[in-house]
């Protein structure tokens, strides 16, 4: 092995290469090269996102220079109507409603303010507790039925009005008395049903509920039974007597209906006419059947 082959190459150094680099021969560039010393950390490069403050070397721009007029927010007038945008943070034109953010004119909707109505309380039922509840109408109905029953069984003149050919009153026979008493009881039931239907119709017309049906039924029985007391009227003349009885019937029905059901005179009259119409229909059907 020759001496040339045993010769080891010298390690490569930056300084030796720098001597061959023509740029490294420039004294200005050589003086600008700084070798890092011990304990010095290298600086990390941050991306230029436009947030850094401008320097004197940034094309001569200063910190107080206004942004470009191409930005809509930088306008001091509305681009839609030309109104002055005095406040710097104003994004909506106060004249035309142009929004600088969406570049659209905001539409203002106007209308009547809807106020929530107070919840109305449900109407009170027509047949309410009170006015004696079951006791008073029960007593009234019991007394009326008892008096009418005694009158029919005793053959009262006002209930029968039987006369002989000479014009003298005739006492009715026992069969007639019991027969008319049975007709009275049937009429009491039918009249109570018709009266109950009349009051129900009034409740529908007033858009309310009927209420307690048991209490209402007993009150109607008391009204109809008291009406029948007018049959005791005996005025001698047939037509005069009938006219007086019908007037008393109407007055008793209206008065007691106003008391027990708290009806107005108009509603009480409506219930009475409805009950009378139904009674006529039932009596007509009964006459046709028999």
In this structure, the answer to whether residues 101 and 177 fall within a common structural domain is no
CA distance 96 to 112: 22
- Range in 67-76, 112-121, 177-186 with the lowest mean pLDDT: 67-76
- β-pairing, 98-99 vs 104-105, is antiparallel
CA distance 219 to 258: 11
Would you say residue 182 lies in a domain? yes
CA distance 127 to 262: 8
98-113: average pLDDT: 69
> For the whole model, what pTM was predicted?
0.56
Distances (CA, A) of 23 to 16, 20, 27, 48: 14, 9, 9, 29
CA distance 166 to 243: 25
31-43: average pLDDT: 46
In this structure, the answer to whether residues 151 and 279 fall within a common structural domain is yes
Mean pLDDT, the chain, integer: 75
Domain count, the chain: 2
Answer yes or no: is pLDDT of 39 > 60: no
Specify the DSSP class assigned to residue 48.
-
Would you say residue 174 lies in a domain? yes
Cβ neighbours of residue 154 closer than 8 Å, sequence gap 6 or more: 177
Answer yes or no: is pLDDT of 285 > 50: yes
Would you say residue 194 lies in a domain? yes
CA neighbor of 272 nearest in space, from 199, 215, 189, 188: 199
Q: Determine the distance from the C-alpha atom of residue 55 to the mean position of all C-alpha atoms in its chain, rounded to a whole number.
A: 69
Q: Which domain holds residue 83?
A: 67-106
In this structure, the answer to whether residues 93 and 148 fall within a common structural domain is no
Answer yes or no: is pLDDT of 36 > 70: no
Would you say residue 118 lies in a domain? no
């Amino acid at each position: 092995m020759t001496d040339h082959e045993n010769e080891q190459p010298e390690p490569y150094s930056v300084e030796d290469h720098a001597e061959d680099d023509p740029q490294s021969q420039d004294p200005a560039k050589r003086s600008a090269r700084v070798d890092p010393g011990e304990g010095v950390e290298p600086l990390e490069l941050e991306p230029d996102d436009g947030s850094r403050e401008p320097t004197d070397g940034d094309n001569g721009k200063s910190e107080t220079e206004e942004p470009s007029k191409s930005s809509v927010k930088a306008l001091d007038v509305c681009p839609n109507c030309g109104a002055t945008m005095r406040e710097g943070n104003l994004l909506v034109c106060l004249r035309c409603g142009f929004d600088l953010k969406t570049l659209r004119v905001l539409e203002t909707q106007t209308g009547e303010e809807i106020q929530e109505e107070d919840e109305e309380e449900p109407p009170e039922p027509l047949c309410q507790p009170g006015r004696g509840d079951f006791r008073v109408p029960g007593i009234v109905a019991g007394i009326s039925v008892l008096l009418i029953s005694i009158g029919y069984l005793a053959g009262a003149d006002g209930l029968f009005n039987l006369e002989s050919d000479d014009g003298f009153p005739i006492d009715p026979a026992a069969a007639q008395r019991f027969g008319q008493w049975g007709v009275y009881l049937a009429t009491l039931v039918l009249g109570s049903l018709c009266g109950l239907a009349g009051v129900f119709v009034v409740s529908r017309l007033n858009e309310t509920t009927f209420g307690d049906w048991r209490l209402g039924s007993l009150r109607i029985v008391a009204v109809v039974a008291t009406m029948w007391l007018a049959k005791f009227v005996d005025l001698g003349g047939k037509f005069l007597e009938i006219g007086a009885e019908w007037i008393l019937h109407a007055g008793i029905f209206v008065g007691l209906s106003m008391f027990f059901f708290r009806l107005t005179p108009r509603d009480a009259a409506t219930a009475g006419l409805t009950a009378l119409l139904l009674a006529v229909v039932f009596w007509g059907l009964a006459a046709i059947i028999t």
